[in-house]
Structure 1
Amino acid sequence: MTDSRPRVTVLAGFSSAATAAAARVLLLADPALVLLSHDLSGVRDGVVRRSVRDAARVLENAQTRLVHGCVSCTLREDVLPALVRLARDRPGRDIVLALPAVVEPEALAAACAASPAVSEAVRFDSFVTVVEAASVLDDLSSAERLRDRGLHSSGNDRRRVADVVSRQIEFADTLLVWDRPGNDPFTTGRVDSLLHRLAPWAVHVRVGSTPSINVTALSASLRQRDRHDPGVPGILTRAMCGFPIGIHDPDGEYGVNAMLFRSHRPFHPARLHEALASIAGEALRGRGQTWIASQPDTVIGWESAGGGIVLGGLGRWLAALPEDRWPEANGLRRLAADVGWDPYYGDRQTVLSLVGLNMDVDRTSRRLTACLLDDTELSAGEDAWRTLPDPFAGLLTPATAETD
């Protein structure tokens, strides 16, 4: 059967100028296309400005007041209803949704997946992250928080610039690298290498290195490709569901390298806590899942960027649940657990992906390995593990522990 729902192409990216340029290209290529965008400059005061336009004119320019000024409120109270309304009022016209610079596409996807009205009205064709080649290396290396640049969406928005940029890149099924003429080959190669290691599953498209852009060809590489798969889990739960979380390439190229670290053994909480700062300083980006001996029931999500690490509870391991509750878990997760089940640890395991610039892979691997329980500690058993000194006690469920 033919799916008559309008296709939605989502454009995300930390450079508002590059994202806007990509949106203009898509409008020029298809006069029937509609662009939905939001200005969040007043969001901390509860004000959001919404714009709808096509290639010829502005169709809407309205201001919305939110009960609470934040990104999640904007998605729930304005972005999602606007998508549904545009699909209803302009049937047959595909939509480009250009996200503001501080909005992470995974948050949008989660909000849409939880809304039957959105699922009935539109289908998501592709999540495109627009990367400005001139600034992405600096942004991924930055220790600044959004607040330092005046970009925080609320008073409690503590996200780092590197956090947001990394997540935008990792969630994409398509990466559009917006370059400029005259970039030196080494910088170009370094940017491409870094993006490949951050998002090896994404299709990479590059424009802007020449004075002109083939609008039709660029549009065809981004739209109506059906690249978005709503069944693919978010970055922190990819490994639990059997999806690759990164690549192991210690040598790398252009000074960019990557490593995967896996272990069924748990981390010693005190040794891990002591080593976090050095591990965060070694890699530009780290992500994945882990567990610590003192909290053996809890899946811990690991994210590092901008010199800091955030650890947060992701729920319980299947091995810590009675079997009659396993059907509550994602089917892919149950299948992955069955394939990799360990007779002693069950589905508990650490899977981390680290990406860096000239990262010392051997030293980082040794640091992580030294944080695991040794044979003597392991043989003491789970009851003894739970009594280990734990700097993370009370922090991982449901809140997060953050280390600079």
Structure 2
Amino acid sequence: MRTEVVLVAGLADHDVAEELWRACPGSVLVRHDLRDLAGGVVRRWVDGELTVLELAHGCVSCTLRLDLLPLLERLGGRVVVHLDPALEPEAVCFALREVDVRVEAVVTVVDRAAWLADATGEDALADRGLAAAEADDRTVAQVVVGQAEFADALVLTGAGTDPVLDAVLDRLNPRAPRRDRHALDAAELLAAVPDDARRGRFDDGFGTLLHGQPPLEPAHGVAVVHFVERRPFHPMRLHEALDVLFDGVVRTRGRVWVASQPDTALWLESAGGGLSVGNLGPWLAAVDDWSGFPVERRAAASATWDPEHGDRSQELVVITASAPAEGITAALREALVTDEELALADELEFVDPFAEWHDEMEEA
């Protein structure tokens, strides 16, 4: 019997996973505690029965590969997984691609009292005693924003309402149904997940960045900056401009084209005070044979093809909680190459901090 999984994520203490489990007769509840993972110890509960696991390597990937994945395949039926606070559902779903498991829904619990401060802060997980390993340098913001953004449904805990938080969530994940924990009907919540929800699926980074068509008009000081340009960034000026993405910004995601790496599409992602840059692979303009690329990407590139630059472009979506949108747009625009630099791009030797950054990330 194929396993169908409901993943429940969230940084704060909650009993939402138990509520979903009770609403699904015959389901199994699985929970992991990774607080001692650095020492190679993982505690796991299956329907309340504790098992202490000792791993040769104390890391999240080992926990997933050696325990959770085979456990889910073995259990079959419906399983509700209460994720450790340090786990991001996106990483778990990425691992689940290796096994015959269907993600029915990802549910994230948002603490009204703490989420917005966490999402715009600079604290590291290690500062809170939540790091999954000694080398885990993720920030709290990266985790809570990633958990909420990847969710198919959101459950809000805590008293009262916060219009700023609501405005941020409207733009971060506009299609996920939101319910209050105090009036939660778990079965109704799962039924409310849209038929075309993500349910653990990934894209290749070249799809739309405005998932679910979020409102673009400002509300309660929250705004969306959609930055699109057909001109490369100067790598050093972009590196200096990144400071504008930290203070008062909840999320930045998007594709970046730097003049020093004309054939490579970079992926830039930030949350609060944490930022990462990765390599998405080549622009189609740098490739002769497109047959190995998704049909959707080829169609989108052809529809917007530039005679000179092909599919190369900047596209960033920034969600601000308090930072002025105009200042972000101005800083990014000033980081673009000038006409003179663009004309001499093949001859200039740019200092590229992103090349060094990427090399360090690959080593890590």
Indicate whether the TM-score tops 0.5: yes
Instruction: Give a deviation string over 1:207-233, Cα, whole Å, max 9, x none.
Output: 13x5xx35xx33222259555546853
SS of residue paired to 1:261: strand
SS of residue paired to 1:253: coil
Contact 2:141 2:274 in 1 (8 A): no
Which residue in the other structure is 2:109 paired with? 130
Bigger shift: residues 220-229 or 95-104: 220-229
Contact 1:277 1:307 in 2 (8 A): no
Q: CA deviation at 1:25?
A: 1.3
CA RMSD of aligned residues (A): 2.5
Instruction: Give a deviation string over 1:130-158, Cα, whole Å, max 9, x none.
Output: 11212111211220111111111112111
Q: CA deviation at 1:264?
A: 1.8
Which among 71, 77, 84 is matched to residue 100 of structure 1? 84
Q: CA deviation at 1:277?
A: 1.5
List alignment gaps of at least 5 residues for structure 2.
none
Instruction: Give a deviation string over 1:354-380, Cα, whole Å, max 9, x none.
Output: 111232111211110010012222222
CA gap 1:233/1:263 in 2 versus in 1, 3 angstroms: farther
Q: CA deviation at 1:335?
A: 2.5
CA gap 1:279/1:254 in 2 versus in 1, 3 angstroms: same
Q: CA deviation at 1:336?
A: 2.1
User: C-alpha separation between the residues in 2 aligned to 1:99 and 1:40?
Assistant: 10
One-letter amino acid of the structure 2 residue matched with residue 253 of structure 1? A
Contact 1:11 1:128 in 2 (8 A): yes
User: C-alpha separation between the residues in 2 aligned to 1:243 and 1:270?
Assistant: 25
Contact 1:126 1:227 in 2 (8 A): no
Q: What does 1:135-146 align with in structure 2 at a 5 Å threshold?
A: 135-146=114-125
Bigger shift: residues 144-153 or 270-279: 270-279
Contact 1:289 1:302 in 2 (8 A): yes
Which among 218, 233, 239 is matched to residue 202 of structure 2? 233
Contact 1:302 1:312 in 2 (8 A): yes
CA gap 1:379/1:289 in 2 versus in 1, 3 angstroms: same
User: C-alpha separation between the residues in 2 aligned to 1:162 and 1:266?
Assistant: 29
One-letter amino acid of the structure 1 residue matched with residue 158 of structure 2? D
Contact 2:277 2:354 in 1 (8 A): no
User: C-alpha separation between the residues in 1 aligned to 2:314 and 2:335?
Assistant: 12
SS of residue paired to 1:384: coil
Which residue in the other structure is 2:93 paired with? 109
Identity across matched positions, percent: 38
Which residue in the other structure is 1:204 paired with? 177
SS of residue paired to 1:96: strand
CA gap 1:204/1:318 in 2 versus in 1, 3 angstroms: same
Which among 20, 28, 32 is matched to residue 26 of structure 1? 20
Instruction: Give a deviation string over 1:16-52, Cα, whole Å, max 9, x none.
Output: x22xx11121233233221111111111111111111
Instruction: Give a deviation string over 1:58-85, Cα, whole Å, max 9, x none.
Output: 3x32111112111111111111111011
Q: CA deviation at 1:252?
A: 1.7
Instruction: Give a deviation string over 1:82-106, Cα, whole Å, max 9, x none.
Output: 101111xxxxx41111111111111
User: C-alpha separation between the residues in 2 aligned to 1:401 and 1:195?
Assistant: 34
Which among 36, 39, 42 is matched to residue 45 of structure 1? 39
CA gap 1:220/1:247 in 2 versus in 1, 3 angstroms: closer
CA gap 1:49/1:336 in 2 versus in 1, 3 angstroms: same
Which among 5, 9, 12 is matched to residue 6 of structure 2? 9
SS of residue paired to 1:27: helix
One-letter amino acid of the structure 2 residue matched with residue 106 of structure 1? E
SS of residue paired to 1:137: helix
SS of residue paired to 1:275: helix
1:179 correspondence with 2:148: no
One-letter amino acid of the structure 2 residue matched with residue 79 of structure 1? L
1:191 correspondence with 2:188: no
One-letter amino acid of the structure 1 residue matched with residue 144 of structure 2? V
User: C-alpha separation between the residues in 1 aligned to 2:200 and 2:21?
Assistant: 29
Which residue in the other structure is 1:364 paired with? 328
SS of residue paired to 1:158: coil
SS of residue paired to 2:246: helix
User: C-alpha separation between the residues in 1 aligned to 2:362 and 2:266?
Assistant: 9
Which residue in the other structure is 1:391 paired with? 353
Give the TM-score normalised by the residue count of structure 1: 0.83
SS of residue paired to 1:206: strand
Which residue in the other structure is 1:150 paired with? 129
Which among 47, 71, 78 is matched to residue 60 of structure 2? 71
User: C-alpha separation between the residues in 2 aligned to 1:397 and 1:316?
Assistant: 17
1:279 correspondence with 2:245: yes
SS of residue paired to 1:284: strand
SS of residue paired to 2:177: strand
Contact 1:177 1:204 in 2 (8 A): no
Runs of 4+ in 1 over 6 A off after TM superposition: none
User: C-alpha separation between the residues in 1 aligned to 2:191 and 2:53?
Assistant: 29
